[in-house]
Structure 1
Amino acid sequence: MSAAQDIAAVLRRTRMPSGSEASLQIAIGEALGHAGIDHEREKRLGPADRIDFLCAGGVGIEAKVKYPKRAIYRQLERYAAHDEVTALIIVTATAIGMPAQLNCKPVFYVSIGRASL
């Protein structure tokens, strides 16, 4: 298993709020901390790009509660263009189909609804 797969598995087992992006980000940060996963919050990747979390090894995590699918895809596509990002995890309440890779980097989908079941 890769680091990104391990992190996605931790997040999938975590019950997360869907009320606001701020509360979702807090829950993600707590889950990462409890699992002992080194991470940096609100990591600036470039002048216009700031990802919600960048974990050790370059695993980026983006949290979205209610957001247009196309906008989520475009944002992840921009993040995947950065060299320091090695994999992406999208944590969202939005049902979205994601490709297995963006810019040759693996993408993992974590459904907030699924984790709450």
Structure 2
Amino acid sequence: MSDPLETLTRQLRGLRLPVTTELALQDALNTWLTDSGLPFQREVRMGPKDRIDFMVSETIGIEVKTRYPRRKIYRQLERYCEGDRLSGLILVTGTYLGLPTEIHGVPVFLVSLGRSAL
């Protein structure tokens, strides 16, 4: 049986998603998640000032960023990975960013839209 986090990441990597604006990307991802039948919530509060874009199956976080400073993206991901709420985190972005395989023990995957958007 395959890991749901890796399966979801592989599926997302196969999609052609818009990178024009963050909202367009979020809306397209919302439509795909709805059509796929996966249980998810949008804009889930992760802390006093943080909301993750999507929470799939209650424990897999998806954060969407189009054009955003790399350092700020990483700091935001770090905050999401604090505690024990996430079993995995997927960053869907048009920004080139190297990521570790884990942050605070939470597996992290990158879905880079740079190539698929060309």
What is the TM-score with the length of structure 2 in the denominator? 0.93
Alignment-derived partner of residue 90 in structure 2: 89
**How many equivalent residue pairs?**
117
Alignment-derived partner of residue 43 in structure 1: 44
Alignment-derived partner of residue 31 in structure 1: 32
What is the TM-score with the length of structure 1 in the denominator? 0.93
Q: Is the 8 A contact 2:42 2:54 kept in 1?
A: yes
Alignment-derived partner of residue 22 in structure 1: 23
- Return the alpha-carbon distance in structure 2 between the equivalents of residues 25 and 82 of structure 1: 25
- Return the alpha-carbon distance in structure 2 between the equivalents of residues 21 and 78 of structure 1: 20
- Unaligned 5+ runs, structure 1: none
Q: Is the 8 A contact 2:40 2:58 kept in 1?
A: no
Shift of 1:31: 1.6
Alignment-derived partner of residue 8 in structure 2: 7
**Amino acid aligned to 2:70:** K
Alignment-derived partner of residue 66 in structure 1: 67
- Return the alpha-carbon distance in structure 1 between the equivalents of residues 116 and 41 of structure 2: 23
Q: Is the 8 A contact 1:51 1:79 kept in 2?
A: yes
Secondary structure at 1:66 match in 2? coil
**Amino acid aligned to 1:49:** D
User: Which shifted more, 1-10 or 84-93?
Assistant: 1-10
Secondary structure at 2:85 match in 1? coil
The CA deviation string for residues 25-80 of structure 1, in whole angstroms up to 9 with x for no partner, is 01111121222211100001121110000110400000000011111100000000
Percent of pairs with identical residues: 44
Shift of 1:115: 3.0
User: Which shifted more, 59-68 or 34-43?
Assistant: 34-43
- Unaligned 5+ runs, structure 2: none
